[in-house]
């Protein structure tokens, strides 16, 4: 009798451990609001925002956020990355532990080419059926695995497997520093054995896309790999732009997209190879590259950093001490994310009004701002996009 009772209690415990908890949500969408209109979800934008969670951006902005779920690799992701690079479009890749083990080179490539690599849990369980301890372990163990592979941290976005969550699990993710990220555009693309036709996939996605859409595509889909080029081309023609999840409205420090700038640079007519980006059409150059480029000229300057405050000091006339990481050339990326840069930049202690961004831990300065601060001549060739710094000449705003 006691054995029977123990078996019954064990069965009840197992059942309790595998059943979804009260308040479980399986994310779904209702597209009945009209073509190219935001769909209604299981929770509203306002409810999700209480937990720092999202299923779309701003419906007022003609911006799209492209995301891919990566459960396993079957040969399509490289083509997807090629297409993103061709169009300079950022994306977020939600990965699981198996994917990190099976496709480490692709994961490194995602990060190296400027995309966000995000948390989809280590073992892909239904997160409404796990304890808080297991929930924490799923996210933290994937973080540890990713850091061991790449030396980087995952971007702070979490997509619950199967779109299953509770308000409590949203809070748990938030407490771990993650924004739970659902979606507002998706279609049945996840089964490699039952892929939609190119025409039907394009028709569905074109009808569902909308301002502020977070688009979910599966990287296992051969259809997605085949039609992505045309989708991006057509969406751009319709006036959409693309942003990373890290640029979502409401984030404390939203990023902006920075395009690698392959334009030729010279100093006093001599070729140099700085790392530079175009942000909103303006040239931004790595500050340490600029210091190295101008070493030995009339406009040389040293650079100092205050680790406590993040402030940066420029010291004209002083010799720059190189770190050996300068002038590595054009960044081989689709597009990278730039966060707000140094809180204060000074010239011999006097504050400057320089526009700065932080990319991969380095400060990038708007080139014209820096040239003006140093009173250094700068020229642009509109035909070739070539940029020239002329240390022997003064800065002129009309250049």
How many other CB atoms sit within 10 Å of the CB of residue 101?
11
Tell me the two tokens of residue 245: 């999840």
218 catalytic residue (yes or no): yes
The candidate with the shortest Cα–Cα distance to 27, out of 235, 181, 144, is 181
Helix locations, 238-308, DSSP H: 287-293
How far does the chain reach from its first CA to its final CA, in angstroms?
93
Output DSSP code: residue 190.
-
Cα–Cα distance, 115 to 108 (Å, whole number): 10
Give the closest residue to 122 by CA, choosing from 165, 92, 154, 90: 154
Exactly one of 124, 210, 218, 289 is catalytic; name it.
Answer: 218
Give dist(CA 257, CA 398) in Å, integer. Answer: 27
Q: Is residue 91 a contact partner of residue 228, using CB atoms and an 8 Å limit?
A: no
Which tokens hold the place of 202? 């394009």
Helices (H), 358-397: 367-374
CA 191, distance to chain mean position in Å, is: 26
The closest alpha carbon to 146, from 93, 104, 92, belongs to: 104
Dmax (CA) of the chain: 97
d(Cα 180, Cα 158) in Å, to the nearest integer?
Answer: 5
Strand pairing partners for 119?
A: 95, 158
Selecting among 43, 69, 189, 289, the annotated active-site residue is: 69
Please name every residue paired with 241 in a beta bridge, in sequence order, or none if there are none.
63
Distances (CA, A) of 54 to 124, 210, 291: 20, 15, 41
Token pair, residue 144, equals 């540890």
Question: Within 13 Å, how many C-alpha atoms sit on residue 30's CB side?
Answer: 7
Which 8-state DSSP code applies to residue 327? -
- Which of 154, 81, 151, 80 has its CA nearest to residue 121? 154
Instruction: Give the active site residues.
Output: 69, 218
């Amino acid at each position: 009798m006691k054995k029977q009772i123990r078996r019954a209690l064990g069965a009840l415990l197992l059942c309790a451990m595998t059943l979804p908890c009260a308040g479980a949500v399986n994310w779904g969408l209702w597209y009945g609001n009209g073509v190219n209109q935001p769909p209604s979800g299981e929770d509203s934008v306002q409810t999700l925002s209480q937990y720092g969670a999202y299923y779309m951006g701003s419906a007022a902005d003609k911006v799209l956020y492209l995301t891919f779920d990566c459960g396993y690799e079957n040969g399509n992701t490289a083509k997807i990355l090629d297409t993103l690079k061709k169009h300079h479009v950022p994306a977020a890749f939600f990965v699981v532990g198996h994917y990190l083990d099976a496709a480490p080179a692709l994961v490194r490539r995602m990060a190296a080419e400027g995309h966000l690599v995000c948390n989809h849990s280590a073992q892909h369980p239904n997160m409404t059926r796990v304890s808080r301890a297991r929930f924490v372990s799923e996210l933290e163990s994937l973080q540890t695995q990713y850091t061991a592979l790449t030396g980087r941290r995952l971007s702070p976005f979490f997509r619950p497997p199967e779109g299953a969550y509770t308000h409590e699990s949203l809070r748990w993710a938030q407490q771990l520093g993650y924004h739970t990220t659902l979606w507002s555009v998706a279609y049945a693309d996840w089964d490699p054995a039952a892929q939609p036709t190119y025409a039907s996939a394009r028709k569905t996605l074109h009808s569902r896309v909308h301002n502020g859409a977070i688009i979910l595509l599966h990287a296992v889909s051969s259809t997605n790999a085949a039609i992505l080029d045309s989708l991006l081309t057509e969406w751009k023609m319709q006036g959409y732009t693309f942003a990373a999840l890290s640029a979502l409205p409401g984030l404390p420090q939203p990023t902006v997209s920075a395009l690698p700038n392959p334009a030729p640079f010279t100093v006093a007519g001599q070729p140099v190879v700085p790392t530079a980006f175009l942000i909103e059409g303006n040239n931004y150059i790595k500050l340490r590259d600029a210091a190295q480029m101008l070493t030995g000229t009339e406009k040389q300057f040293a650079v100092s950093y205050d680790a406590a405050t993040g402030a940066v000091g420029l010291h004209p006339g002083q010799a720059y001490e190189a770190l050996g990481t300068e002038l590595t050339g054009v960044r081989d990326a689709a597009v990278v994310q730039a966060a707000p840069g140094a809180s204060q930049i000074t010239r011999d202690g006097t504050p400057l009004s320089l526009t700065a961004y932080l990319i991969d831990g380095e400060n990038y300065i708007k080139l014209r701002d820096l040239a003006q601060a140093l009173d250094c001549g700068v020229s642009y060739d509109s035909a070739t996009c070539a940029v020239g710094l002329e240390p022997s000449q003064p800065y002129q705003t009309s250049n």
